[in-house]
């Protein structure tokens, strides 16, 4: 029976930012080297936020474009929109019928999201992790690269797999979370995790002047009030970002010169923004090229959906059989 090595999904809500890149997307790209990977933009999950008009379609295509620009290679990996493969929702329904309400009400992401949108605590938000389990299990994926915040959902997916196997037939392997040593990237406020909703993010496709402006706003060592106060790089988020975007020798100099006050925050940030612009340049260039040829993206997505659809159909046939639907 067909299975894929790796499956992951990303929500199309909001622009991809450098936290997504360093924390997840970079790893998606390198996994393709040795594994059969399926990557989807989870537009059905995003429907729980009630996006308006054509906003969802637009942001889903934008996210797919960013994934390709980052190096997800549609020749190697299947890249697709979740809603283009109907099996996800079919399988999710079967799983919903076996999942106790109690399990779902324990999910911390459900609690967080309900707090984010108190006027729209819909049933989709509640069953969201079941759809996520279906995303993974429909491909019988072995590994799921996710961040720490998704471990609880992965555990639920494993529980659902076990329950299905026990109740009906042994169809699903238990997926393993593959936690990267992904750095936790803080936002410009220097305290909260970088995220679009916190508005403390640096978009991956920011232009060099935008990068200068955004990095310019970043919070630094609060004790460094005057230019000649010595700084403490260990508590400064600008310094940790240097660690991701600047050459090791430069990181060293920044550290020393910050402590001795030879380097001021303004210059330190300017250098960081320059280095960021330089390392993100290949991604921006690819994204621009893709914008010129929208067909390339659409073709990649339809090819990805075909490949994913074939595996999904195969699994769903077995599920129909096992559950007595067929």
* Residues known to be catalytic: 113, 193, 196
Q: Please state the separation of Cα 108 from the chain's center in Å.
A: 18
**Does 150 participate in binding ligand TRP (rule CB under 6 A)?**
yes
Site string for ligand TRP, 6-25 (x = CB under 6 A): -xxx-x--------------
Nearer to ligand SF4, 188 or 265 (CB): 265
Q: Please state the separation of Cα 288 from the chain's center in Å.
A: 21
DSSP for 205-259, written as a single string: T--HHHHHHHHHT----TT--STTSPP-GGG-HHHHHHHHHS-HHHHHHHHHHHH
Site string for ligand TRP, 91-130 (x = CB under 6 A): ----------------------------------------
Query: Which of ligand TRP, ligand SF4, none binds 8 (CB below 5-8 Å, type-dependent)?
Result: ligand TRP
CA 88/CA 309 separation, integer angstroms:
10
Supply 137's token pair: 């299990």
**Do 141 and 175 touch, CB atoms closer than 8 A?**
yes
Q: Closest distance between ligand TRP and the C-beta of residue 109, in Å?
A: 7
User: Nearest-CB residue to ligand TRP?
Assistant: 9
For residue 41, list its beta bridge partners: 10, 81
Task: Give the footprint of ligand SF4 on residues 192-221 (CB under 6 A).
Answer: 220-221
Could you say which of 29, 42, 137, 283 contacts ligand TRP (CB under 6 A)? 42
**Does 77 participate in binding ligand TRP (rule CB under 6 A)?**
no
CA 136/CA 113 separation, integer angstroms:
21
In the complex, the residues that contact ligand TRP under the rule CB under 6 A are 7-9, 11, 42, 45, 132, 135-136, 144, 146, 150, 153
């Amino acid at each position: 029976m067909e299975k894929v090595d790796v499956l992951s999904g990303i929500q199309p809500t909001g622009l991809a930012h450098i936290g997504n890149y360093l924390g997840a997307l970079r790893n998606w790209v390198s996994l393709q080297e040795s594994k059969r990977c399926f990557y989807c933009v989870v537009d059905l999950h995003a429907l729980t936020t009630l996006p308006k008009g054509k906003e969802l379609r637009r942001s889903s295509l934008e996210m797919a474009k960013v994934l390709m620009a980052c190096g997800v290679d549609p020749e190697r990996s299947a890249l697709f929109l979740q809603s283009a493969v109907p099996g996800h929702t079919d399988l999710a329904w079967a799983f919903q019928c076996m999942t106790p309400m109690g399990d779902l009400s324990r999910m911390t992401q459900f609690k967080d999201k309900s707090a984010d949108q108190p006027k729209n605590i819909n049933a989709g938000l509640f069953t969201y992790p079941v759809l996520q389990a279906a995303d993974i299990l429909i491909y019988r994926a072995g590994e799921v690269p996710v961040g720490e915040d998704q471990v609880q959902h992965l555990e639920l997916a494993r529980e659902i797999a076990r329950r299905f196997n026990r109740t009906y037939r042994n169809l699903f392997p238990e997926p393993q979370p593959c936690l990267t040593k992904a750095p936790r990237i803080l936002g410009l406020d220097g305290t909260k995790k970088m995220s679009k909703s916190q508005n403390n993010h640096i978009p991956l496709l920011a232009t060099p002047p935008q990068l200068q402006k955004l990095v310019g706003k970043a919070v630094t060592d609060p004790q460094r009030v005057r230019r000649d106060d010595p700084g403490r790089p260990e508590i400064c988020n600008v310094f940790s970002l240097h660690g991701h975007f600047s050459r090791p020798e430069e990181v060293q100099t920044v550290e020393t010169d910050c402590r001795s006050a030879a380097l001021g925050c303004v210059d330190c940030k300017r250098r960081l923004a320059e280095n960021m612009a330089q390392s993100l340049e290949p991604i921006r260039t690819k994204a621009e090229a893709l914008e010129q040829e929208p067909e390339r993206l659409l073709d990649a997505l339809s090819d990805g959906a075909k490949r994913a659809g074939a595996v999904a159909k195969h699994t769903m046939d077995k599920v129909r059989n096992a559950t007595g639907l067929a």
